[in-house]
A = this chain, B = another copy of it.
Amino acid sequence: MAAPSAPPRARALLQQCLASRLQVKPPEPGSEAEWVEIQRGLVIYICFFKGASEELIPKMVNTLLNVKLSETESGKYVSVLDLPGNLLIIPQATLGGRLKGRNMQYHSNIEKEKGMQLYSHFVTLCEKELAANMKCAEAGVVVKYGTYGNRQVLKLDTNGPFTHMIEF
């Protein structure tokens, strides 16, 4: 029997996409909504729990960018760096919910201020890793990301969502 494991400090959900579009600024009187968009690549939904800290970020980024979940034209699975594919990062605090009766509770989620810092660090490190990767730089793949705390209005077009969850 497995030993009781420590509660996770972060949860990431991964979905492969052909294209994906995320609203980063809602429409307001006099201004239209703003969107970011990626073509083929990886959508990363991310949620931090209480106890998560900065030293977790390099491990998370390293794992998520190197796990072999991206399908090549020939059907082989490689990392998003090796595809090379684009990244769309979505802050998704709801992923930290736990069922209580008929409602979800979010007591384990990190405080907003701290979560915002970790999220920002996570995005920056993803950008650095893609920029430092020759294949990615040559292909011109990009990192796009949602605004922490916003409603994440998403349009997703997949060739098989291949939904995976990885906890840290």
Contacts and interface: CB of A to CB of B under 8 A. Distances in A.
Given A92-B161, A161-B90, A163-B45, A63 B99 contact: yes
Copies in the complex: 2
Given A4-B4, A13-B13, A67-B102, A154 B164 contact: no
B102 A66 contact: yes
A97 interface: yes
- Residue among A69, A92, A162 with the highest chain B CB neighbour number at 10 A: A162
Chain A, interface size category, equals 35 or more
A39 interface: no
Contacts of A69: 104
Nearest to A3: B4
Given A67-B102, A67-B104, A79-B102, A158 B154 contact: yes
The list of the 8 closest CB pairs from A to B, nearest first, reads: A4-B4, A156-B156, A151-B160, A154-B158, A154-B161, A94-B162, A155-B157, A97-B164
Interface of A: 2-4, 7, 11, 13, 45, 63, 66-69, 79, 90, 92, 94-95, 97, 99, 102-104, 151-166
19 contacts: A2-B7, A3-B4, A13-B13, A45-B163, A63-B99, A67-B99, A67-B104, A68-B103, A69-B104, A90-B161, A99-B166, A151-B159, A152-B158, A152-B160, A152-B161, A155-B157, A155-B158, A156-B156, A165-B165
